[in-house]
Amino acid sequence: MRTLVVYYSQTGNTKKVADAIFAALPRDKEIMKLEDVTSLDDYDLIFAGFPIHSHGPAPKAKEFLEKQAEGRAMALFITHASPESAPDVSHMIQRCVNAAAGAQLLGVFNCQGELARDVMDRLLESKHPEMRMFGEQGNFTRGQPDAARLARAAAFADEVLAKVT
């Protein structure tokens, strides 16, 4: 079985998760940036990862899923600055799942990723109190995804594989 790990990552968090998943997979695997994918036809299983932007999948990832997920055996991995336990996270994840409608979805992994300094600075300058509060919370995301989260990502890869092999 041939497996592809494809990821979109602006500041490196989702790439760390992609690398952890890739390392956990047995041979006959490839890892690729989303921008470099031309066709998914050569793969039996696809792990697709991306960050949350504005409460949903980053636009490039959304477009990718809407165009390419149809009929594919797929697992999603997602990073976001909010803590996993935040009430809005399940809604954000649902929007990602909706974008992959038509895929045979084998699982979804999500974890916190550090909020980039420049994004945090922009949020802290916002005139909207809600955005400033989000920016302040960025301080609590330092170093994410950490080793524990990456270990969970590797375990997720095993769980997905167990469903198809």
Ligand X SMILES: Cc1cc2nc3c(=O)[nH]c(=O)nc-3n(C[C@H](O)[C@H](O)[C@H](O)COP(=O)(O)O)c2cc1C
Binding site for ligand X (CB under 6 A): 9-14, 51-55, 79-82, 113-115, 119
Determine the Cα–Cα distance for residues 54 and 92; give it in Å rounded to an integer.
9
In the complex, least distance from residue 19 CB atom to ligand X, rounded to whole angstroms: 11
- Burial label for 10, CB within 10 Å (0-12, 13-18, 19+), is middle
In the complex, least distance from residue 40 CB atom to ligand X, rounded to whole angstroms: 20
Q: Which is nearer to ligand X, 68 or 79 (CB)?
A: 79
Q: Which is nearer to ligand X, 119 or 154 (CB)?
A: 119
In the complex, least distance from residue 149 CB atom to ligand X, rounded to whole angstroms: 11
Q: Which is nearer to ligand X, 19 or 70 (CB)?
A: 19
Ranges of H-type helices in the chain: 13-24, 59-68, 89-99, 117-124, 129-137, 147-164
Q: Which is nearer to ligand X, 4 or 115 (CB)?
A: 115
Residues in the chain: 165
In the complex, least distance from residue 24 CB atom to ligand X, rounded to whole angstroms: 18
Dihedral of alpha carbons 150, 152, 158, 160, sign: negative
In the complex, least distance from residue 27 CB atom to ligand X, rounded to whole angstroms: 26
Residues 85/112, Cβ–Cβ less than 8 Å: no
Q: Which is nearer to ligand X, 62 or 161 (CB)?
A: 62
- Residues with Cβ < 8 Å from 72, sequence gap 6 or more? 40, 43, 46, 103, 104
Q: Which residue is nearest to ligand X (CB)?
A: 113
